[in-house]
Structure 1
């Protein structure tokens, strides 16, 4: 194909470089994607600072795992196996399993021995270098799971498919359904999409909590359909949830905050007899002080760790965006470019003076 592509390389020390790479050829049985947009995530910020949290994570790295783009060079094998053609816009699952190790052959319930993740595990010196969505092009391995994107949404809007897939996996893991009162703690883009996922699963009441600094995010929660929002700095959250639920309290609490205090609060927000708590917000390995485990026992609470998506939840997320494109439009947020990545990072770290965003997408030039 020839030519060069730009990509941002995170050096793992709070700095990055924009480098040029040759536009690659597809790997055997794979394809090349022209990346149109990639969602920026809190885990990208961790990579920016050199904090590893997935197996085999590379540093330096071209990050970016919420990837949407158009296929421009597709091998016949990929076209047949994926059901796609050149020119198709697709959403890319970042998780690539080998399909041949003991875990994969047993049904994939364990950790693939040869796991690769776009934006994480293959560095800029690995086989052409372009393995993350912060690059203008991306090599796609033959075992990649790609999904045709629905019409009517921009590439930047579609990038929420990946965190929505996480959210749908998590609400399924804690069995959200009709009759459930769901409290979502933490209205970042992942928490907001957990609220949307809970509503899609038929939750009877969805309540989203945040702080005084979360005004935009709480307004977005309401726009997504949340029944109530609570500023925990202005009201006692436990008392208010009790009032809103007629004393029933929550049957499901989803904790998406980065602070440990929310774990203790989650226990107080649950009702008796079989409530479920989903722990999905990373606390940067900080211990939870004052955790009363007797509450877990006496309330018979099921505490579920939640990380990542499944192929099924990826497919479900893309279908949901096709059926309810207003989710993606409501979450559209702010766009940056390769030349303004620092602003995107500042938004994610919540240090952009006077500005907030419910989601940040890096949009590549056409």
Structure 2
């Protein structure tokens, strides 16, 4: 197609480079996206430091999986298959299934040829532009694309991906009207779990954090959470008891990286039939002092949570179109390609005097 594009390449050792790549042509049955913005998340930090947590993860790699952009070039068959045209804005599902293996044909299980934008196709693989930290992205056949609303900016729309995770997780623990939900951890994923629980009709949503989370707890209230708790200033179990009239939580969602938070989650649950969603990775640190008898005695359900589904992706984009205030409240901070390291510092919470509820990399026009 001619021309070059810039992209940040993570080298897997705590460093990155901004490199130039040739703007690709659409692959057979595919397209090329001009990336407008990509959300930055904690898993990007893991990639930055070379911590691999996705099967088949490549390094060096152009990262970025919370991708929003416009169709730059598209083959006729892809235009017909996707119902899209050049210039259309889309949100990109990072998970690409082959559609041919046994699990894909059976409609269940993990695709044996799974590819993920920003993870599994490295900077040396077929042109290298396979992640949202690049100004252009090569789109494979079978990519799940969702037409995006024009009422929000691309940076605001990048929360679609963590919101899709959140909607999947609240569904997995059956959040419904009348539920009392406690969300532990007010990172951008935890905040969107609070928003998702509210969208499902939870009657009470409580978000917990620490004294360093002032901005994030204020954002939780702006999203509609009923109460926030600083766990360093208050006894969180006693406070949840007060706020719920002694009933405690029917659902606890643990989004923290702190192993001890799981113990607290068990203490926050109601006496019978509560559900606990575990989505905050503890970096393979054992959880000491867990009274597993509580799980049995309280008839508790424990649900591991990871990722989204195609349907929760579509639900997330629809919800942002219907309730744009979620995206605007979560807009956070934007960085450019030449300032990726500042974005990483914000994610790692080591940017002096700064905090952000969400960080997006925005490409210049």
Equivalent position SS for 2:86 = coil
Shift of 1:279: 0.2
Equivalent position of 2:166 in the other structure: 167
Shift of 1:277: 0.3
Matches within 5 A, 1:206-355: 206-355=205-354
Shift of 1:78: 1.2
- Deviations 1:225-254, CA, capped at 9 Å, x for gaps: 000000001100000000000000000000
Q: Write the distance in 1 (CA, Å) between the matches of 2:200 and 2:266.
A: 23
Equivalent position of 1:2 in the other structure: 2
Q: Write the distance in 2 (CA, Å) between the matches of 1:95 and 1:46.
A: 18
Q: Write the distance in 2 (CA, Å) between the matches of 1:262 and 1:80.
A: 49
Shift of 1:83: 1.0
Shift of 1:355: 0.4
Q: Write the distance in 1 (CA, Å) between the matches of 2:16 and 2:286.
A: 31
Equivalent position SS for 2:155 = helix
Shift of 1:213: 0.2
Equivalent position SS for 2:176 = coil
- Deviations 1:194-244, CA, capped at 9 Å, x for gaps: 000000000010000000000000000000000000000110000000000
- Deviations 1:81-110, CA, capped at 9 Å, x for gaps: 111111000000000000010000011x21
TM-score for the superposition, normalised by structure 1: 0.99
Shift of 1:77: 1.5
Equivalent position SS for 2:276 = strand
Matches within 5 A, 1:61-80: 61-80=61-80
Equivalent position of 1:129 in the other structure: 128
Q: Write the distance in 2 (CA, Å) between the matches of 1:259 and 1:75.
A: 47
Q: Write the distance in 1 (CA, Å) between the matches of 2:10 and 2:363.
A: 17
Q: Write the distance in 2 (CA, Å) between the matches of 1:77 and 1:177.
A: 41
Is 1:18–2:18 an aligned residue pair? yes
TM-score for the superposition, normalised by structure 2: 1.00
Q: Write the distance in 1 (CA, Å) between the matches of 2:135 and 2:180.
A: 43
Equivalent position of 1:30 in the other structure: 30
Q: Write the distance in 1 (CA, Å) between the matches of 2:77 and 2:173.
A: 38
Is 1:156–2:155 an aligned residue pair? yes
Q: Write the distance in 2 (CA, Å) between the matches of 1:78 and 1:291.
A: 52
Q: Calculate the aligned-residue CA RMSD, in Å.
A: 0.5
Equivalent position of 1:178 in the other structure: 177
Equivalent position SS for 1:156 = helix
Equivalent position of 2:89 in the other structure: 89
Count of residue pairs brought into register by the alignment: 365
Q: Write the distance in 2 (CA, Å) between the matches of 1:79 and 1:185.
A: 43
Equivalent position SS for 1:17 = strand
Equivalent position of 1:98 in the other structure: 98
Question: 214-223 or 51-60: which moved more?
Answer: 51-60
Q: Write the distance in 1 (CA, Å) between the matches of 2:352 and 2:216.
A: 16
Shift of 1:291: 1.0
Equivalent position SS for 2:302 = strand
Equivalent position SS for 2:38 = strand
Question: 77-86 or 239-248: which moved more?
Answer: 77-86
- Deviations 1:183-204, CA, capped at 9 Å, x for gaps: 0000000000000000000001
Equivalent position SS for 2:256 = coil
Segments of 5+ residues of structure 1 without an aligned counterpart are: none
Q: Write the distance in 1 (CA, Å) between the matches of 2:301 and 2:291.
A: 14
- Deviations 1:46-90, CA, capped at 9 Å, x for gaps: 000000111110011110000000001011111111111110000
Shift of 1:306: 0.2
Shift of 1:272: 1.4
- Deviations 1:341-362, CA, capped at 9 Å, x for gaps: 0100000000001100000000
Segments of 5+ residues of structure 2 without an aligned counterpart are: none
Q: Write the distance in 1 (CA, Å) between the matches of 2:82 and 2:262.
A: 41
Is 1:51–2:40 an aligned residue pair? no
Q: Write the distance in 2 (CA, Å) between the matches of 1:276 and 1:77.
A: 45
Equivalent position SS for 2:196 = helix
Equivalent position SS for 2:17 = strand
